[in-house]
Amino acid sequence: YFPSFFHRPPQNPVEKISSGYKATEYYLYIFGLGPGFFRPILPKKYWKNFCKLVRGAQILMQRSITGKQVREAHAFLIRFVEEYKNLCYQRRPERLHFCLPLLHTFLHAAPEIMCVGPGTYSSQFTMKHTIGDFGRDIQQPSNPFSNLCQIAPAGTN
């Protein structure tokens, strides 16, 4: 079973991951199916660390979130980043290239939710979906703004 938010089950990553893999497929594969798929593959310490990232991300991508949940997600992400630094690059300068700038972003994700709201509303998924809706609504490329002007008042009722 896959929730309706995911348009379909993810394609085989071996065949499609570098061409045609959608953002929602990555999200489902990594944060939905990843803990189960990677458990028999990853050594236990790496798998447990990965699960902290997954749990933090799952909390932050909810449609509604409490302050307590933001703090919980922040704690998971801090533990993930600290453990990643110890496990993967071992805090050695010559291994620093294993740390992507994204790792630092994880440390700011939860506090930023207090400013901009839940991640699901500020993520690319929501924006891409909205742009797709507008694209379908425009229908006539010769006069797109006229169609949008007619659609906008209808959407506020």
Q: Which pair of structure tokens corresponds to residue 139?
A: 């229908």
Determine the number of helices (DSSP H) and then strands (DSSP E) in the chain.
9, 0
**Residue 118 lies inside a defined structural domain of this protein:** yes
Apex CA 33: angle with CA 73 and CA 12, to 5°?
Answer: 140
Specify the higher pLDDT residue, 105 or 141.
105
Q: Looking at 14-23, 33-42, 113-122, 123-132, which range is the least confident one?
A: 123-132
> What pLDDT is recorded for position 46?
96
**Residue 77 lies inside a defined structural domain of this protein:** yes
Are the C-beta atoms of residues 50 and 34 closer than 8 Å to each other?
A: yes
Q: How does residue 140 score in pLDDT terms, banded at 50, 70 and 90?
A: low
Are the C-beta atoms of residues 101 and 79 closer than 8 Å to each other?
A: no
Q: What is the DSSP letter of 65?
A: -
Q: How many CB atoms lie within 10 A of CB 32?
A: 17
Distance CA 81, CA 145 (A): 46
Most confident segment among 69-73, 87-91, 93-97, 136-140: 69-73
> What pLDDT is recorded for position 94?
86
Q: How many CB atoms lie within 10 A of CB 135?
A: 11
Domain, as residue range, for 99:
13-155
Q: How does residue 116 score in pLDDT terms, banded at 50, 70 and 90?
A: confident
> What pLDDT is recorded for position 141?
62
Q: What is the DSSP string of 34-89?
A: HHHHHTTTS-HHHHHHHHHHHHHHHHHTSSS--HHHHHHHHHHHHHHHHHHIIIII
How many distinct structural domains can be found in the chain? 1
Position 81 pLDDT exceeds 90: yes
**Residue 25 lies inside a defined structural domain of this protein:** yes
**Residue 2 lies inside a defined structural domain of this protein:** no
